[in-house]
Amino acid sequence: MLRACNDDWPTADRRTPAGVLVVVILWAGVGLNLAVVAPLRNYLLDFRAYYAAGRALRMDINPYDAATVARNVPLPGRQALVPYVYPPPTLGVAYVFSHWPLEIAQVAWTLLQFALATCALLLVCRIVGCPVGSPVSVLVAFAFLLSSSVSELFRWGQFDMVVVALLAAGLWALERAHPVQAGVWLGLATVAKLTPGAYLIVLLVRREFKALLVAVVVTIGLIGVAALPLPDGSLAQWRANLARLSGDLTWNNVSLRGYLTNAFVEFAHEGGRSTPWIDLGPGVARAVAWACVGVLTIATIAWMICNRRSLTTAECIAATVPVVLLCSPITWTHHGVQTLLPLALIVSVVARVPRPSRVDLASLSLIVFLLTIWPVQRFDLKLPDWLHHLAAPTFTYGVLLTWLFMITRYAPLKRATEAETACTGKKPLSEPLSPLGRGLGEG
């Protein structure tokens, strides 16, 4: 039965002067703090590796050989140089930034990352049909810009905001029915960091063959071309770096594999030695992790197929983001900047329901809390080991709840908003909410 019509329903989509002011103040404050002040006061661990790889490339040294690079590229700061693990085309970016002094280069890098974050946020607001300054945009901006993922990314000078911006552009192109453009953006995201290649499976399931073909050609073509001028042994060392990183067991790995390893395997790490609940050994933990990967993957694909008429390809890719984060061999908190995509969808669909249930509101509040307040370790709480394994990985819980909400509540809530628009006669999500975009409701 349809609920009573509510003429005030679209207020979540209306721009207000107060909303614009809040977003601008939030944007300016976070940008100044993370993109300007932080890099002026610290050397950024991961950016040092990018910078050194670019310098090595200029010296015709294998940029993936961290030991050789460290010997030949002296850098200020006391941090050890971590190996470069990104695909060869990304070395072009490192090459450009390596022409400046490190202190200047890292500020320029963080400003670029924040510009990409701004572009991603604006694109996502366009995708869900909520102008900047609307209540939905305020909550999305708050949850994104104040998230632990964003703060961790700028703390280390990481790369993932490039991926977020490219994914947002890909989803935008899919919603505008431009498969070639979408394929280019998604291919570039895969080139920037290999894990977005998992989203190409969604294109296959959704039969977006033109976008899939373009993405594959862009990925293979750019990696192949960029690998040609590299010094001998670079590709082999790149694969070795990836293998070592994927097999790394760290206490701050927030993927399912990391969660299970910390809970059920005793191992040494830089902070000491883990104290699991029960030491089942790495083999059992790995088997359980693979079983969880299978369940998450099958359930997500089944959800896409069962809701194929009411979901768009962009929505399916957004719902896959938590799956990729949970199923990756190693996931650190800064990788979670991609949760902007599913989180924006969840916020927008809950806000558009005339009278959302308490359960939905509580779930959304919990997701935002878990993704924003991380980690428990930042409060330096002295917890027993068994309780620490439960309380510390709040980010893992937040990502898992995001996935659960997407596959259990998103489609019903979307149908409820469409029923409401049929009752009120107002524009549904599937129709353009602005001259430049459309919502995520086109089935």
DSSP symbols for 2-58? PPPP-TTGGGGG---HHHHHHHHHHHHHHHIIIIIIHHHHS--HHHHHHHHHHHHHH
pLDDT of 56 = 94
- Please tell me the predicted confidence (pLDDT) of residue 436: 32
What is the per-residue DSSP string for 154-216?
HHHT-SHHHHHHHHHHHHHHHHTT-HHHHHHHHHHHHHH-SGGGGHHHHHHHTT-HHHHHHHH
pTM of the model: 0.89
Closest CA to 255 of 386, 357, 150, 403: 403
Q: What residue type is assigned to position 17 of the chain?
A: P
Q: Name the helix (H) or strand (E) containing 115.
A: helix 102-127
Q: What DSSP character marks residue 434? A: B
Burial class (CB in 10 A: 0-12, 13-18, 19+), 339: buried
Domain boundaries defined on the chain:
19-158, 159-226, 248-432
Q: At CA 220, angle to CA 219 and CA 222, rounded to 5?
A: 70
301 CB-near residues (< 8 Å, 6+ apart): 205
Question: Residues of the chain whose pLDDT is less than 70?
Answer: 1-10, 12, 248-251, 269-272, 374-383, 385-386, 388-389, 391, 419-443
Give the Å distances, CA to CA, from 203 to 16, 78, 308, 339. Answer: 37, 45, 12, 19
Q: Which residue in 81, 35, 80, 34 sits closest to 54, CA to CA?
A: 81
CA quadruple 275, 337, 323, 50: dihedral positive or negative? negative
Contacts made by residues 176-180, CB under 8 angstroms, sequence distance 24+? 176/437, 176/438, 179/208, 179/210, 179/211, 179/214, 180/210, 180/211, 180/214
- Using only C-alpha atoms, the chain has a radius of gyration, in whole angstroms, of 22
Beta bridge partners of 434: 437
Residue 397's CB is within 10 A of a number of other CB atoms, namely: 18
Cα separations (Å) of 106 from 44, 188, 242, 262?
Answer: 7, 23, 24, 33
C-alpha–C-alpha distance, residues 363 and 409, integer Å = 10
pLDDT at 246: 78
Sign of CA dihedral 253, 78, 243, 98: positive
Cβ(401)–Cβ(363) below 8 Å: yes
Name the burial class of residue 103, with classes exposed (0-12), middle (13-18) and buried (19+) by CB atoms within 10 angstroms of its CB. Answer: exposed
Neighbours of 358 (CB within 10 A): 7
Q: Which two tokens stand for residue 435?
A: 């001259």
**355: which 2 tokens?**
């009278």
Question: Do 227 and 87 contact (CB within 8 A), yes or no?
Answer: no
Q: Is 16 exposed, middle or buried (0-12, 13-18, 19+ CB in 10 A)?
A: middle
Dig out the tokens for 86 from the structure: 């990104």
Tokens 């359980």 map to which residue?
Answer: 288
Long-range contacts of 169-172 (CB under 8 A, 24+ apart): 169/119, 169/123, 170/317, 171/123, 171/124, 171/127, 171/314, 171/317, 171/318, 171/341, 172/123, 172/126, 172/127, 172/314, 172/437
